[in-house]
Structure 1
């Protein structure tokens, strides 16, 4: 019986399929199947119900899961305490929100590369709903995205908060006075995708202001939205720190409204995650973030 066999068994149970466990561990599905068969042969028991279409553990499998969790936990603790950063190898899949990409992502990648020179990063930018979905399915190891602490089923750490504001081109003349939801709705609104984390905030604000939110354009990219806004196409709800240069240059201006401006961001991983490297890289993300109001408690503590 090997540690790899126990690890394979653990992730099949957590993620619900042999394929998902294989993706998470960067091996083939046949490798996972072989490790499970070898483990069952060694123990002389069946760990999964073969009549089920999903990877459903047997009663014996559920009992083994308790020991597997302890074993992987001890392995994580040992590596965190003893292993040198330069000895870590492998690939970590990180999902990021666009706001992170536009601000401190390069600083974070540099910190990871310096601390863990033998570790490769795979970075994917997605909408928040997709990031959380991929994380829960095991397709990502860590996400840096809008969210709140705590998040059910996830280990999280605060990355701080980002101030958002309605913005427009100065040529539209919307600056200099507080604007209502009704006044904003009368403009051509550049909206974010319905799946966007911020869509609900915007819709609630319009609803409370008894205004109808008609979107002239919807897009998934804040960068694209800001480009259209600076050209005078309409107004959009955007993060201030991402477009400070455009504001200072007079291409964009803030519109004073009553909408809640602060959006919290978190680093998050699965509550079942046992890889010490993921914990350490999450801590580096907390340190690299330049968002204000972050709490400095580390995920690995």
Structure 2
């Protein structure tokens, strides 16, 4: 008879690539993990892993059986969730968040999660989408709100919100009457998202297409830093103005009409790795989608 605990151990050893990591995930010892996998291999009559000094790798048959193991674990998870009220969800959920979301509707989501699932503890990491994707794939976080989608195996993506990009400058900076040629804007540094982000690359390419071979660009994962630099008159910025209501209304900052290619929208997704322990991430992602939709409606009515 096949022990479901051994199947779970097989799954995590395959997903994490080592018996040590699987033992830490399951809260047991490495010898216990080895014994469970050996028992499963004996029950199935196949070899699931090749073992060497670097860790474990799946055999061809192991790859084939991994999908069945994942499906069995998901069925067990679904059965357990169906047997109890969803409000009993508990434990820690690690969420990685792009700062644009932090500056808009994340606090409302945290409030709603606390009310609906008081036994869930949220651990929040704020970073660039590039870093968040790498942390998600390394299973260092359970759920990511980032520029997406994440096109990797077993990753689920749920649309959250879309925000326009715009050129923003300190109101006292004189660039002449608009629309302003891009070459004129580039006489000052251009400040935008981190250098490994899609907006940074798109703005850089835009500048190079008009003959600016070495554009002066400052990239930062901190939007508060970007806004501070613009307020200090260091240069213009390419960011979403969705969280700049106060600065734009007070006249400290203004939107700049630039003669250039249209700026693309920022498309944010909730992304998580589908698997037997992904139920909380899926539920919170759906809550985030609803919170983002209400935030969009509220902003459109202002």
Q: Which bin holds the TM-score, normalised by the shorter protein? A: 0.7 to 0.9
* Number of the residue aligned with 1:47: 48
Paired residues of 2:6 and 2:40 also in contact (CA < 8 A): no
1:190 correspondence with 2:191: yes
The correspondence of residues 79-94 of structure 1 with structure 2, limited to 5 A, is 79-94=80-95
SS in 1 for 2:289: helix
| Deviation sequence 1:99-158 (CA, Å, 0-9, x none) | 01111111111121112111111110111111111111111111001114x733221011
* Number of the residue aligned with 2:246: 245
Distance 1:22 1:255, change over 3 A: farther
* Number of the residue aligned with 2:290: 287
Q: Distance in 2 between matches of 1:261 and 1:267?
A: 19
Q: Distance in 1 between matches of 2:160 and 2:176?
A: 30
Gaps of at least 5 residues in structure 1 are: 294-301
Distance 1:193 1:160, change over 3 A: closer
SS in 1 for 2:49: coil
Structure 1 position 60, deviation (Å): 4.9
Structure 1 position 207, deviation (Å): 2.5
* Number of the residue aligned with 2:204: 203
Q: Distance in 1 between matches of 2:63 and 2:162?
A: 40
Distance 1:67 1:230, change over 3 A: same
Paired residues of 1:93 and 1:122 also in contact (CA < 8 A): yes
Q: Distance in 2 between matches of 1:5 and 1:112?
A: 33
Distance 1:190 1:136, change over 3 A: same
1:100 correspondence with 2:98: no
RMSD of aligned alpha carbons = 2.6
Paired residues of 1:192 and 1:219 also in contact (CA < 8 A): yes
Distance 1:63 1:218, change over 3 A: closer
| Deviation sequence 1:168-201 (CA, Å, 0-9, x none) | 1010034851223212111232343312332112
Q: Distance in 1 between matches of 2:286 and 2:175?
A: 41
The correspondence of residues 27-42 of structure 1 with structure 2, limited to 5 A, is 27-28=26-27, 31=29, 34-41=32-39
Q: Distance in 2 between matches of 1:157 and 1:108?
A: 16
Structure 1 position 229, deviation (Å): 0.5
Structure 1 position 161, deviation (Å): 0.3
Distance 1:69 1:189, change over 3 A: same
* Number of the residue aligned with 1:299: none
* Number of the residue aligned with 1:152: 152
Q: Distance in 2 between matches of 1:261 and 1:244?
A: 20
Q: Distance in 2 between matches of 1:216 and 1:63?
A: 48
Structure 1 position 247, deviation (Å): 0.8
Q: Distance in 2 between matches of 1:141 and 1:175?
A: 48
Q: Distance in 1 between matches of 2:159 and 2:177?
A: 34
1:123 correspondence with 2:121: no
TM-score (norm 2): 0.85
Distance 1:227 1:181, change over 3 A: same
* Number of the residue aligned with 2:300: none
* Number of the residue aligned with 1:298: none
Identify the range of structure 1 (278-287 vs 175-184) with the bigger mean alpha-carbon deviation. Answer: 175-184
Gaps of at least 5 residues in structure 2 are: 298-302
Paired residues of 2:98 and 2:146 also in contact (CA < 8 A): yes
